[in-house]
Structure 1
Amino acid sequence: MAKLLIVEDDESVRTLAARALERLGHKVDVACDGAEGLDRILQARGCYDLVVSDIRMPEMDGIEMAQNAARAYPGLPILLMTGYADQRERAEELDAIIIDVVQKPFTLSEIRDRVSLALAAQSSVALAGAA
Structure 2
Amino acid sequence: MARILVVEDEPALREFLRRALTKRGDNVAIAGHGGEAMLKLRDGRYDLMLTDIAMPEMDGIELALKAAQDFPAVRLLLMTGYTDEKRRAEALEHLVNKVLMKPFSMTELFAAIDAAMDKPMAEAAPGQGARSA
**Aligned partners of 2:111, 2:98: CA distance in 1, in Å?**
12
Show the counterpart of 2:77: 79
Q: Normalized against structure 1, the TM-score is what?
A: 0.86
CA contact (8 A) 1:34 1:60 kept: yes
Q: Following superposition of structure 1 onto structure 2, how do residues 1-131 of structure 1 map, counting pairs within 5 Å?
A: 1-44=1-44, 47-122=45-120, 125=123
Cα separation, partners in 2 of 1:37 and 1:122, compared to 1, 3 Å: farther
- Which residues of structure 2 form unaligned runs of 5+? 125-133
Once superposed, what is the RMSD of the aligned Cα atoms?
1.7
**Aligned partners of 2:53, 2:10: CA distance in 1, in Å?**
12
Over residues 16-50 of structure 1, what are the superposed CA-to-partner deviations in whole Å (9 max), with x where a residue is unaligned? 11111111111000000111111111222xx2111
Show the counterpart of 1:129: none
Aligned residues: 124
Q: Normalized against structure 2, the TM-score is what?
A: 0.85
Quote how far apart the aligned CAs of 1:121 are.
Answer: 2.5
Quote how far apart the aligned CAs of 1:125 are.
Answer: 4.2
Quote how far apart the aligned CAs of 1:70 are.
Answer: 1.1
Q: Which range moved further: 18-27 or 71-80?
A: 71-80
Quote how far apart the aligned CAs of 1:76 are.
Answer: 2.0
**Percent identity among equivalent residues?**
40
- Which residues of structure 1 form unaligned runs of 5+? 127-131
**Aligned partners of 2:67, 2:81: CA distance in 1, in Å?**
22
Q: Secondary structure at the match of 1:102?
A: strand
Higher helix content, 1 or 2:
1
**Aligned partners of 2:52, 2:110: CA distance in 1, in Å?**
15
Give the AA of the match of 2:26.
H
**Aligned partners of 1:51, 1:25: CA distance in 2, in Å?**
16
**Aligned partners of 1:93, 1:75: CA distance in 2, in Å?**
20
**Aligned partners of 1:30, 1:121: CA distance in 2, in Å?**
24
Over residues 64-83 of structure 1, what are the superposed CA-to-partner deviations in whole Å (9 max), with x where a residue is unaligned? 11111111122421000000
